[in-house]
Amino acid sequence: MKIGFPRALFYYDYFPFWAGFFHSLDIKVVTSPPTHRQIMEQGLKKVSDDTCLPLKILAGHIQALDKVDAIFLPRMVSVEADTYNCPKFLGIPESLFTAVPAGIPVLTVTLNWRKGRRQILKDLQVFGLQLGKGKADIQKAFTLGQEWQKQYQDSSGAGWDFEETIREIEKVTKGLTKPQMSTLTPSIPKVQDTTDRLRIALVGHSYLTHEAYGSQNLLGRLRKKAEVDLVQHVKQEEVDTNLLGLRKKLFWNHAKQIFGAGNKFVRDPKIDGVIYLSCFGCGTDSMVQELLARYAREQHKPYMMITLDEHSGEAGLVTRLEAFIDMVERRKVHEGYVSAYGECLDRDSNAL
Amino acid sequence: MLGEDKYFLGVDVGSVSTNIVLLRPDNTLKEALYLRTQGRPMQTIQEGIKLLRSKIGNSAEIMGVGTTGSARQLAATLLGADVVKNEITAHAVAASRVNPEVQTILEIGGQDSKIIILRDGVAADFAMNTVCAAGTGSFLDQQAARLGIPIEEFGPLALQAKHPVQIAGRCSVFAESDMIHKQQLGHSLSDILAGLCQAMVRNYLNNVGKNKDIRGPIFFQGGVAANPGIRKAFEVELGQPVIVPEHYDVMGALGAAYLAQEKVGMQVGMRSKFRGLHLGETQFEAKSFECSGCANHCEVVEIQQDGISLARWGDRCGKWSIASSTSVDNDSVEHKVKQLGA
């Protein structure tokens, strides 16, 4: 059996779990190719126009999966106790039925950590019946899935590049190699504290920051000009510490991670600037972005928000990015300048 | 006299206007041109250069060139620029040179509007409008045309208003239908225009100026600063005087010229990459084609001068981009040229 797994939305955070799960059950997983123009266009046509960009991209990826026996669209209600995923995750798969090509069945299962591990196992076992797998198989698959997920999360904490890690996992799902991520050395070393280059933190949902096509390769462009820190690079303990100051707990899982990491970046003197990547129609970002912007202002940290939508012209993004980098650079030079005379003699020569 | 006709050239090619300035080494302005782009940036730049040549003659020397605006890359390719900078940096540099005390810049252009917060002459924060073009010059142009009044009379008429009407400024489509309702009710033209100015300013401050610490002195620049109605609406809303600098309409180009001066001036013996004042007479052509190398089908644009390719862009993977020597990413040029040759 071959299951199609779209390379969008939940793929970016939870693929390792599902890859491990299906690997253990001896089910082949096929992922759609990285987003390209056609995928985007197909996605835009097939879903409600007032949903968000990542969901539209997901709809495109569903259609890009061919030669599969079924498409897997889990309903990821919650991945951690006391939190929820964004409501749009909860509407999957029903909200995307219009995008599924005729004749291909959809496989789905509800994953809700709010109800605890026992309930999840139960739900997975019911799901297993559809796949023709017994209780013991599911139990084993669940354990392996969790193992892979943990390895994946640990590796990003250690500075692993997302693309590298996911490539390793995909190789395994295709039956090419055995999982041995822990023995490999990270190819992109963790950001050095002594670097001369600018250090910019890019915060936002993983399915936007790592979505090269949708974000017009923002991450790649940024890496050309600066060292980039991401939400995934921040250790869980640090995220948790930076959430303590809030008067009320955030109950969206992604929002918690983004805010905790973002707050750390805002307060970290080694970070020269913070960019928040969001998209139109994102409900959780509308709260978290505003909150983080206020913290950034208090700390006088250069901060910029970029809102993505379906546009393909890159001029707007490039202008904002260049202007932000310029601002951070010139500000750094200016702040580092201490005149022996107590004030600038020639402030005009260093204008801006 | 020696050094008499040496200039720095600043070019700002925006969606609506193309501005060209010539700056003397002593920071005074020799020439400022404000041309309408009219969707043909290449021809407009060439016209501008022709015009300049007729004014300053062939003996003039261009010591450095800076380009900015949404077509800065195109302008840089055509002219051979020493500096290619985004509009925000250019505007900020120009304003802080004109008046080092400036703390806030309000800039409203043809297709975008921005706010720049300066502290001690350094940009501390900025914001640009999102994809919506409501509250920009194009919208005012459009409404003036609909009402049948020249855009130049828009502001003076708005100033005559006695009781500005309330107009929904959130979205230009809503604003337009609201204006039509008000007209049909019989409100005077000047009251409606003043209401529109207020709505636009409110929209600007709520969107672009959201959460920004707006302190004086405030500069108001960009094409829309020509409209005294908008300026007054800003002053009322902010409760502070708003200064429109002398060269408000070419501040971006002025900033680009200053940046060129900064760059060329800093390196001793550095020669400008300027390709010469004869550019007005040569033949430039832009061609575009769709690459079918992968599923992205990028639309690649190629700029040619007399049949010779100057630059290509628009591809996501970079296999077509022969960036000119003025390109922002010139670190990867050699690599790309090699790839193409292989």
Handedness of CA A34, A37, A38, A41 (dihedral sign): positive
For residues A156 and B144, the model is more confident at B144
Q: What does the pLDDT look like over A65-79, one tens digit per residue? A: 988 999 999 999 999
> Does A38 sit within 8 Å of B123, measured CB to CB?
no
Task: Work out the angle between the directed axes of helices A135-157 and A162-173 (0-180°, nearest 10).
Answer: 160
pLDDT in tens, chain B (342 residues): 445 678 899 999 988 889 999 998 888 888 899 998 888 888 899 899 988 888 887 778 888 999 999 889 889 988 888 999 999 999 999 999 999 999 999 999 887 889 999 988 888 889 888 756 567 888 888 888 888 888 888 999 999 999 999 888 777 778 888 888 888 999 999 998 999 899 889 888 888 888 888 998 999 999 899 999 999 999 999 999 999 999 999 999 999 999 999 888 766 677 788 888 888 788 888 888 888 888 778 888 888 888 788 888 877 777 787 654 334 444 333 334 343 433
Q: Find the distance separating the first CA and the last CA of chain B, reported in whole Å.
A: 53
> Does B131 sit within 8 Å of A309, measured CB to CB?
yes
- Nearest to A62, CA basis, from A50, A77, A49, A45: A45
Question: Residues in chain B, how many?
Answer: 342
A307 in the same domain as A222:
yes
Give the CA angle between residues B97, A225, B268 to the nearest 5°: 50
Distance (Å) from the alpha carbon of A213 to chain B's nearest alpha carbon? 9
Task: State pTM to two decimals.
Answer: 0.83
Give me the mean pLDDT over the A243-257 stretch. 90
State the number of CA atoms in the 13 A half-sphere of A164 facing the CB.
16
> Does B124 sit within 8 Å of A300, measured CB to CB?
yes
Spatial strand order of the sheet with B284-290 comes to B284-290, B299-305, B308-313
pLDDT value of position B271: 79
Given A183, A209, A227, the domain boundary residue is A183
pLDDT value of position B22: 92
Contacts of A39 in chain B (CB under 8 A): 295
pLDDT value of position B131: 56
Is residue A79, in this structure, part of any structural domain at all?
Answer: yes
> Does B121 sit within 8 Å of A213, measured CB to CB?
no
C-alpha to C-alpha distance for A40 and A58, rounded to whole angstroms: 9
Distance (Å) from the alpha carbon of B124 to chain A's nearest alpha carbon? 7
- Nearest to A279, CA basis, from A94, A111, A88, A95: A88
A239 in the same domain as A171:
no
Is residue A154, in this structure, part of any structural domain at all?
Answer: yes
A214 in the same domain as A154:
no
Q: What does the pLDDT look like over A165-201, one tens digit per residue? A: 777 777 776 655 555 544 444 444 455 555 678 999 9
Is residue A193, in this structure, part of any structural domain at all?
Answer: no
DSSP B39-105: T-HHHHHHHHHHHHHHHH-TT-EEEEEEEESTTHHHHHHHHT-SEE--HHHHHHHHHHHH-TT--EE
The burial of B39, by beta-carbon neighbours within 10 Å (0-12 exposed, 13-18 middle, 19 or more buried), is given as: exposed
pLDDT value of position B85: 92
Question: Is B100-244 assigned to CATH 3.30.420.40?
Answer: yes
pLDDT value of position A185: 40
> What percentage of residues in chain A have a pLDDT greater than 90?
54
Distance (Å) from the alpha carbon of B182 to chain A's nearest alpha carbon? 31
Number of domains within chain A: 2
pLDDT over 80 (residue A334):
no
Top residue of A222, A297, A331, A352 to mutate, by most chain B CBs within 10 Å, is A352
Contact A149, A165 (CB under 8 A): no
pLDDT value of position B183: 87
A218 in the same domain as A99:
no
Average pLDDT over chain A reads 85
Q: Does A102 touch chain B (CB under 8 A)?
A: no
Residues 6 or more apart whose CB falls under 8 angstroms from that of A317 comprise A216, A218, A221, A306
| Pairs of CB atoms within 8 A across A/B | 90
A319 in the same domain as A170:
no
A229 in the same domain as A116:
no
Kindly report the CATH class assigned to B6-92+252-281.
Answer: alpha beta
pLDDT over 60 (residue A63):
yes
Contacts of A213 in chain B (CB under 8 A): 296, 316
CATH of the domain at A23: 3.40.50.11890
A164 in the same domain as A312:
no
A124 in the same domain as A9:
yes
Q: Where are the domains of chain B?
A: 6-92+252-281, 100-244, 284-341
Contact B153, B116 (CB under 8 A): no
Do the domains at B6-92+252-281 and B100-244 have one common CATH topology?
Answer: yes
DSSP A88-143: HHHTTTGGGGGGSPTT--EE--EEEGGGHHHHHHHHHHHHHHHHT--HHHHHHHHH
A162 in the same domain as A228:
no
> What percentage of residues in chain A have a pLDDT greater than 70?
87
Give the pLDDT band of residue A1 (cuts 50, 70, 90): confident
3-state secondary structure of B116: strand
Structure token digits, residue B339: 């790839």
Predicted complex ipTM: 0.77
Q: Give the domain range for residue A101.
A: 2-183
Q: Find the distance separating the first CA and the last CA of chain A, reported in whole Å.
A: 62
> Does A38 sit within 8 Å of B211, measured CB to CB?
no
A24 in the same domain as A167:
yes
A108 in the same domain as A54:
yes
A155 in the same domain as A10:
yes
pLDDT value of position A208: 93
Q: Look-up: residue for tokens 């007032």?
A: A50
